[in-house]
Amino acid sequence: MTLPSNARTVLKEVFGYDDFRPGQAEVISAILDKSPVLAVMPTGSGKSMCYQLPALLDGGLTVVVSPLIALMRDQAQQMRAVGVAAATLNSNNTPEDNDRAWELLRSGELRLLFVSPERIAMEGLTASLARLGVQRVAVDEAHCVSEWGHDFRPEYRQIRKAIDEMGAPQAIAFTATADRATRNDIVERLFSTKPQIFVHSFDRPNIDLRFEPKDNPRRQLIDFLAQHRGDSGIVYCASRKKTEALAGYLQEQGYQAVAYHAGLDLATRNANQDRFLREDGMIAVATVAFGMGINKPDVRFVVHADMPATVEAYYQEIGRAGRDGLDARTLTLYGVEDIAFRRRQIDEKDIDQDRRAFERKRLGALTRLCEAVRCRRQMLLGYFEEVAPPCGSCDICRGQVALYDASIDAQKALSAVVRTGQRFGAVYLANLLVGEATDVMQRNGHADLKTFGVGKDKPKQAWLAVYRQLFALDALEAASEEHGGFRLTPFGDAVLRGQETVQLRVFVARKGGGKGATIGRPPVGKPLGDTEAGILDKLKALRRELSREEGVPAFMIFPDKTLLQMAEERPMTLSELGRIHGVGQRKLSLYGEAFLEILLTV
């Protein structure tokens, strides 16, 4: 089926977009053809439009299953902002909210109803929706239905039954991250008939990828953030305690930062999320409880202060940056402790051995991405079975990371592990190799070992890098959950005996230490001239004022991409303003004159 002739007209008049993003048209065509659909599309590719536009083109009710109340609320609010009848049913609704939603449902005016997976499974709701008639059910973040997915949620398993109870309307599902095993599981558990499956490119070329081994992590973070003053971003941490400590530290450094994790009381959590969504230049320091489906388009950076759990989780989390298509940057910090922590998590899970082996394989893929020796983007896309050339712009492509045959260095490092009883960690062993006779080492008698000082030709940081890479390569494992330290694996033993060789990355000392000294931000996009930058500042100030007056996030007035195009093209009439990306008819009538006034007076 081809798209109806009015599809692009509605796209422009309602949403302000001149054309579809890559991949959208074919998915929307299949949906309008009444086919069940599973679409795997990268974050920022416009998955939401694939169920929003059909709801307007063919009428009827679309029920959207969404994992978070905050996301449901924002999506419904965005739809209402462009004149589409939308509502939510959730536990945070007031009685008036619910009454209004049911009024629109009974009148047949409602086009989009957002509900949680828990609520859609309620028998009373499915029976009522069945009587009112449901055109289709759209399942967002569909990877949550699969145990093989990285955010498995058992309540998603009830969605198929709920669809059947509603009279088996068309089922459509969307996710940004699903490998082959996850896709197969989604099809089996969510669809009663085989869907059309669309797997689009996972590439997000506007997102810059960078990884660094931990070396004074707070300084590394501050160096990165120094180049993002005034930008909105997310910093992910592995623990709740760390989010609060790091948010406090960033506040002390002059940044607007809030903490977010599941342990905060609901009022604080919602207030912090609202600040992040509504205000410019906010940093959310969060656990992974924050962000699934976060719909803020102008997130300019994502930092992982600790190594993420899997490649899928990494991809999902960095995907919250640059959803508007403008340039965004990422930084992932990782260390031996992170790898050990993730391995320990897998070992402590109550899962069978096949699943444990699968989890270990996924962790191995992530550690290889951290310690990559070729293009990051190429490796990331390769994990999702997508072939790509080197990107030329990630940190490795820019810096040309060099490799060397490290078999002799590995044997020295592994020998130190064995000769000290396979119970000490990287710092102690690096001290031994460089010949640093600490008090503890002398008490242990290790200053007299043959390996003491055999690595004087390298700095201590180089040996720490060797141990980190050997750990990532599974030549070493944690000796004790309680006390840490290293012991050799069978592979490590083979390397020590000369039966296996290893290649490692050449160690390059981290330079500087002054603010912003080490990042080397690549040139991205076309820089604004002074005049355009001044106009943009004024447009953003007006946007902030309007968002405060209306109690909505600033991007719901106009996203950054729209304001940037206004500043660059400087439309002089309402008609010209209406041709700007993201300016639909309703927003033109609501805000056009106010923004045009600024453009005409500069």
CA atoms of 344 and 330, how far apart (whole Å):
26
**Closest to 484 in 3D by CA, of 495, 494, 476:** 476
Tokens (6 digits) for 557: 């007035």
- pTM of the predicted model as reported, rounded to 2 decimal places: 0.80
**523: in domain:** no
**516: in domain:** no
**342: in domain:** yes
Domain boundary among 367, 399, 431: 399
Same domain, 315 and 431: no
Q: Residue 238 burial (CB < 10 Å; 0-12/13-18/19+)? A: buried
Residue 279 confidence (pLDDT): 85
- Containing structural domain, residue 565: 530-600
CATH number at residue 116: 3.40.50.300
CATH number at residue 576: 1.10.150.80
Stretch 27-36: mean pLDDT, rounded? 95
Residue 521 confidence (pLDDT): 42
Q: How far apart are the first and last CA of the chain?
A: 48
Same domain, 118 and 40: yes
**515: in domain:** no
Same domain, 412 and 364: no
Apex CA 201: angle with CA 197 and CA 202, to 5°? Answer: 105
**191: in domain:** yes
Stretch 37-58: mean pLDDT, rounded? 91
**583: in domain:** yes
For the chain, the average pLDDT equals 89
CATH number at residue 452: 1.10.10.10
Same domain, 388 and 448: no
**72: in domain:** yes
Same domain, 393 and 408: no
Residue 511 confidence (pLDDT): 58
> How many separate domains does the chain show?
4
- Whether 182 shows a pLDDT value over 60: the answer reads yes
Q: What is the pLDDT of residues 413-426, one digit of tens each?
A: 999 999 999 999 99
The DSSP code for 253 is: T
Same domain, 313 and 451: no
Biggest CA-to-CA distance, the chain? 86
Same domain, 195 and 60: yes
- pLDDT level of residue 134 (50, 70, 90 thresholds): very high
Domain boundary among 489, 505, 521: 505
Handedness of CA 364, 366, 367, 369 (dihedral sign): positive
Same domain, 391 and 408: no
- Whether 356 shows a pLDDT value over 90: the answer reads no
Same domain, 393 and 407: no
Angle formed by the axes of helices 266-278 and 69-81, nearest 10°: 40
- AA letter at 392: G
- pLDDT level of residue 400 (50, 70, 90 thresholds): low
- Whether 524 shows a pLDDT value over 60: the answer reads no
Same domain, 227 and 242: yes
Residue 508 confidence (pLDDT): 75
Domain boundary among 399, 421, 447: 399
**586: in domain:** yes
- Whether 205 shows a pLDDT value over 60: the answer reads yes
Q: What is the pLDDT of residues 468-492, one digit of tens each?
A: 889 888 899 888 766 678 999 999 9
On the CB side of 504, CA atoms within 13 Å amount to: 25
* Percent of the chain scoring above 90 in pLDDT: 57
Same domain, 317 and 245: yes
Residue 522 confidence (pLDDT): 43
Backbone torsion region of residue 177, taken as left when φ is above 0, otherwise alpha when ψ lies between -120 and 50, otherwise beta? beta
Same domain, 395 and 407: no
